[in-house]
Structure 1
């Protein structure tokens, strides 16, 4: 039986590590809920917009994602606005996607779907 991404923890990545392959990305994204792969300056990014009924719920979610990011030592770009939070992930040291991005995305989905850490 395969371990779900949300059960894993992020690992240290160094600049010599390879970004995820197209095949890996296709496999890992199947475990995520509505995350999208996009390009920024030609580099892959993993992004999702989370909707909320007000600013305080969005801010609370942002803080929970921040706490998770610290625990995992993997830090996304988080944009908090009234009624929504946009999270963008990539592994900075390799300027591309790594399994860590998908692990953190799965954990973020779990926070959102279960109402908190």
Structure 2
């Protein structure tokens, strides 16, 4: 389990600032499967999660949606056949916050749990 996933998200209040490029660079190694991308000038975290079926991907999307609701922080979720793409960034900041890294780590945890064989 990634130590980031054990951290608590903090509300982004007015006046909050995003992470500096140096802070982002320091956190990225903790999320080796995530890409640091920029879309329309906004830095974001993105990962594609592979699945064997569309329905498996849909179940994962529901788990991420519940995670997002619990934390009042909502990613872009793209469901396609055999993959789900998740993109985190903090809309109010127009960039990345530590919360984005925390929730990306929690997505990794959800995915590992999802892939673990369940024996009855």
Give the conservation status (yes or no) of the 8 Å contact 1:90–1:97: yes
Correspondence for 2:98: 99
Show the 5 A alignment for 1:30-41. 30-41=29-40
- How much has 1:33 moved relative to structure 2? 3.4
What is the rounded CA distance, in whole Å, between the counterparts of 1:6 and 1:114 in structure 2? 13
Q: Which consecutive residues of structure 2, in runs of 5 or more, have no partner in the other structure?
A: 116-120
What is the rounded CA distance, in whole Å, between the counterparts of 2:21 and 2:92 in structure 1? 19
What is the rounded CA distance, in whole Å, between the counterparts of 1:51 and 1:4 in structure 2? 23
Give the conservation status (yes or no) of the 8 Å contact 1:15–1:94: no
Give the conservation status (yes or no) of the 8 Å contact 1:52–1:84: yes
- How many equivalent residue pairs? 114
Runs of 4+ in 1 over 4 A off after TM superposition: none
SS at match of 1:9: coil
TM-score using structure 2 length:
0.89
SS at match of 2:56: helix
Correspondence for 1:59: 58
What is the rounded CA distance, in whole Å, between the counterparts of 1:67 and 1:42 in structure 2? 28
1:28-48 deviation digits (Å, cap 9, x = unpaired): 111113101111111101100
RMSD: 1.4
